[in-house]
Structure 1
Amino acid sequence: MLALTWAVASHANGQVPSAAPVLREGPMFLAGLSAVPDVPMIMRLLESNGIVVRRTRLVPPPPRNTQDPADSLYRLARRAMADEKYRRAAQLFVELVERFPHSDYAGDALYYRAYSLYQLGSQRDLRDAIDAIEEQARDYPDASTRKDAKTLRTQIESAQARSGDADAAQKVAEKAKMLGEERGCPNEDDDMRIAALQGLMQMDAESALPILRQVLAKRGSCSEGLRKHAVFIVSQKRSDEATTLLLEVARTDPSGEVRAEAIQWLGQAHSARAVAALDSIASNATDDEILDKAIFALSQSREERSDAALRRIAADERKSSHARSQAIFWFGQTHRDADDMRFLRELFSRSRSEEIQGSIIQAMAQARTSEAMRWLIDLARDKSISIEARKNALFWAGQSGADLRQLVGLYDEMKGQTDIQNQLIFVFSQRRDREAIDKLMDIASNDPDRDLRKQAIFWLGQSRDPRVQKFLLDLINR
């Protein structure tokens, strides 16, 4: 199974909009994409939004029977596959089957051989991969990977078809057609048929779209997952017909989740018609999930109307704080010129919601301009706003590379404002600059406030700066 890892730094204050793709406690694995082979498209979408994506490939499960005579050979083959040495892995897996045909590993070994050959990708390798899958179906029909092998076969046939194999192209088209004609609830072969439809879309989109329309016309609750897959496949086609189909789904599908998927992918259409629809959906949505998707989709568009729509949502006090925060977050990710920054500053001055103010602070910090940093530091000085907003401004200024000299000067300026000085100590502790450690050591040695000295010493104890150990020993021996 193919997986994607989203690795994004977490935020110490935890003030991140819930729909933003930011992880608070480590990586998240997006599994279940075996029927969606165009992973590079997903990766490009994520990376375009500043998300670091690591791709990991299929690795067979750990050995499960040390008494099995093929166990050591399986271990070698598994290691080769994990290291992406697919030629060696394919050879070791076939050797395992030939030497130990009655091993518990033999049936699945044929699937992993086929997968390894598929990764190699030559026409000869693809034919040998099909042979391995057929051998598994004939000799090991109860293998645990049998269902996965059916889907893999369709992906292999799609690759053959793209290289001009007419027989493979016909098989892919026939399997895809079966998905559109299927009645009732999905069955166990649907993953294979979805892969076929994906392959057909890549080969002949004009033939695939009518089948996708049939799939999306299904209305049973049990076909919801199938319709989601179909929406994703449609989204890969940049055409008026594909946009029309996504718009129909966004407006009429009985499932809120399917509508939300269609709305999200409409942002990739990059057409004025899609943006107008998204603007209308965002203006009238009463469901938070639908509104979240519409906001995200608008943020992906380069149309002027999408910019205006995000501003309107961000400023609309009739919308929930959550929705407004989402609009501000995505606006900050994609809009960073002087006019955009002025809009956010003015919105901050009008807002009385700490949640909205926090979102604006974060959005301004994303710009990382000297003007934005000055504004954040000025906020930290402003006694007319809440302590939490001032501390939040300091956190983001520190995280976004504000001039450390300004922050050091601000610490001395804030004498007597313990909450702000405490936050600055934390900000210094998160910086890797030598000057930040210098300031912490100065506070630990000389600040008249005992609690601030203790706080500085605590954070110095977390530092790996080689000077700190000697400093702390000297402090103890005073």
Structure 2
Amino acid sequence: MRHRTHFMTTILAALLALGALAPMTARAGNEDAAEAYDRLKDLIYDERYSQAYDASRKFLADYGDSRYAEGAEFFRCYSLQRSTRDYQQAFDCYAKFLEAHPDGKWSDDARSEYFKLAKRLSDAGDPRGKAALESMAARRVDEDSEFKMSVIWEIMDQDGDVPFDVVADLLTKSKDADVRRHVVYMIAEVDDPRVVDLLIQVAETDPDPDIRRHAVYALSEYADEERVVSAMVQIMKTEKDADIRRHILYAIAETESDEVTGILINVARTDPDPDARRAATFALAEVDDAAATAALESIVETSDDEELQRAALYALIERDDVNIIPTLKKIALSKSDSRDGRELRRAAVYALAETDDPSVVPVLTEIVKTSGDSEVRKAAFYALAEHGGPEAEALLRTAAMDTKDQELAQAAVWALADVLDDADATEFFMAVYRQSPFEEVRRAALYAAMSGAGEASAPALGQMLEAQEDPEQRKAIVWALSEIDSDESVAILARVARTDPNREVRRAAVQALGAIGTPAAKQALRDLLNER
């Protein structure tokens, strides 16, 4: 018998280790919890609140993880309220319950008791009770707001008219920022002249900056009205949100109000917020006004804020006005050593490149000859290439041949690649290739010659091929020759395929002959095969 008992004990231990008895244990635990919960409810129904309070605490200690725990927590608060008459302690108990279970099965019952206790405490002068009543009132307003919002969306979906009074009530009374935000979004659907005044009120007073911002966005649609411009100007004076202030500036810039230019100029010059100054400067670009142009030029020429100068410069560029050429020249030749100063000079040159006026070429020529900033001079080379013409071409040729600065000479070569005709490009670049003392310039001339190679340039490329010692560059010339379908090109490639000392170059020449594919090229390939 002892052996059998020992055997059964061993089996039970193994089953427990494997969890085989877990379902039975859990089922037993659930049944115990259900029975204890029923006993707790009976105590509540019999109004034995003191015993119910003790039973609820024991239940939560024993079965706090069960599905009956929420009900037991509510009964603990309820029995505490009824047995002790300690309303402050019961009030705190309900507050914790609602925090833990805001939308639970017993939440409505708890909220009802909480409200009664809050009113009792408020009447007794307890500030916590008053605060709780205000919070619950706001919750009811917001629940009502959400209901109204759903009705409004349905009306809009059916192309109905949204009543202004309902929208205004939601926007001014709801404590829920999401509700107010949605109302601002839908305000454009409300056909009522009072909308503008409502939006102005919201933009001036709503505590949420995001809602004020969207009110300003909505007001932008009415920015042709003087009262809207005046309101936005007043908001600018008190608004702290930088994004709202910037949007106001852009909104009023699109109006035709006589005072707009003065407002923008004043903000651009004097506002303590650098972002607002830059926004006003960019907004001035939208104002088609001589005073705006003069203000931008003045900012570029006199401001100590180089970022603001750059904003003014870009605003001027957007105007596409040839009258700004002298200003651009002055900036391009300025001598500031700061990063912003250098960027301003280059930006001015790029703007000159985009200015479609022949008077720009002499200005760029002067910049090339007198600027002490090599990056600006390189930018001027490319700008001259954009404009083209005999004067620009002559200056670039001289720079490519004679400039003692390697980077500048190289920039001149690349600029010329966009200027010279195919007829004389290869010959000129060959001359640069032979004469330049700079390896990088010679390489640039080589690639420039190849990029513009035409049928007549095959002899010149052949000469470059013979003079070139670098196998990679010889291979590049071979591929340039493969683009020329001429007998002379075929003859040069056949010679390279036979005699070049580098196997990769010879192989490239064979492939180039195949790429040409003319009868002469095919014959050259057969000859090479027969010779082998």
> Using the alignment, how far apart are the partners of 1:316 and 1:230 within structure 2?
34
Is the 1:249–1:258 contact (alpha carbons within 8 Å) kept by the matching residues of 2?
A: yes
**Residue 186 of structure 2: aligned partner:** 153
The letter of the residue matching 1:409 is E
Greater Rg by CA: 2
Residue 218 and residue 395 in structure 1: after superposition, are their counterparts in 2 closer, same or farther (change >3 A)?
A: farther
Give matches, 1:94-109, under 5 Å: none
**Residue 511 of structure 2: aligned partner:** 473
1:171 Cα deviation (Å)?
A: 2.7
The letter of the residue matching 2:511 is L
**Residue 217 of structure 2: aligned partner:** 195
**Residue 353 of structure 2: aligned partner:** 332
Residue 313 and residue 392 in structure 1: after superposition, are their counterparts in 2 closer, same or farther (change >3 A)?
A: same
Unaligned runs of 5+ in 2: 1-149, 171-177, 486-492, 494-506, 515-524
> Using the alignment, how far apart are the partners of 1:410 and 1:474 within structure 2?
25
CA RMSD of superposed structures (Å): 4.4
Is the 2:368–2:380 contact (alpha carbons within 8 Å) kept by the matching residues of 1?
A: yes
**Residue 347 of structure 1: aligned partner:** 367
Aligned: 1:435 with 2:454: yes
1:360 Cα deviation (Å)?
A: 1.4
Is the 1:407–1:424 contact (alpha carbons within 8 Å) kept by the matching residues of 2?
A: no
**Residue 298 of structure 2: aligned partner:** 280
The letter of the residue matching 2:466 is D
Q: In the alignment, which of 367, 386, 405 is matched to residue 405 of structure 2? A: 386
Unaligned runs of 5+ in 1: 1-110, 115-123, 138-144
Is the 2:245–2:276 contact (alpha carbons within 8 Å) kept by the matching residues of 1?
A: yes
TM-score by length of 2: 0.52
Q: In the alignment, which of 182, 195, 208 is matched to residue 205 of structure 2? A: 182
Q: In structure 2, the residue corresponding to 1:338 is in which secondary structure?
A: coil
Q: CA deviation digits over 1:53-103, x for unaligned, max 9?
A: xxxxxxxxxxxxxxxxxxxxxxxxxxxxxxxxxxxxxxxxxxxxxxxxxxx
Aligned length: 328
Residue 344 and residue 153 in structure 1: after superposition, are their counterparts in 2 closer, same or farther (change >3 A)?
A: same
Higher RCO by CA contacts (8 Å cutoff, separation 6 or greater): 1
Q: In structure 2, the residue corresponding to 1:217 is in which secondary structure?
A: helix
Give matches, 1:44-443, under 5 Å: 127=159, 152-154=185-187, 157=188, 166-167=191-192, 169-179=193-203, 181-182=204-205, 186-201=208-223, 204-218=224-238, 220=240, 223-301=241-319, 306-318=324-336, 320-334=341-355, 336-369=356-389, 371-381=391-401, 383-398=402-417, 400-414=418-432, 415-417=434-436, 418-427=439-448, 431=451, 435=454, 442=461
> Using the alignment, how far apart are the partners of 1:358 and 1:313 within structure 2?
16
The letter of the residue matching 1:208 is V
Is the 1:380–1:393 contact (alpha carbons within 8 Å) kept by the matching residues of 2?
A: yes
Greater fraction of residues in helix: 2
What fraction of aligned residue pairs are identical, expressed as a percent? 18
> Using the alignment, how far apart are the partners of 1:183 and 1:290 within structure 2?
32
Is the 1:215–1:226 contact (alpha carbons within 8 Å) kept by the matching residues of 2?
A: no
> Using the alignment, how far apart are the partners of 2:235 and 2:395 within structure 1?
52
279-288 vs 460-469, greater mean Cα deviation:
460-469
Is the 2:322–2:357 contact (alpha carbons within 8 Å) kept by the matching residues of 1?
A: no
The letter of the residue matching 1:357 is R
> Using the alignment, how far apart are the partners of 2:475 and 2:467 within structure 1?
14
Is the 2:479–2:508 contact (alpha carbons within 8 Å) kept by the matching residues of 1?
A: no
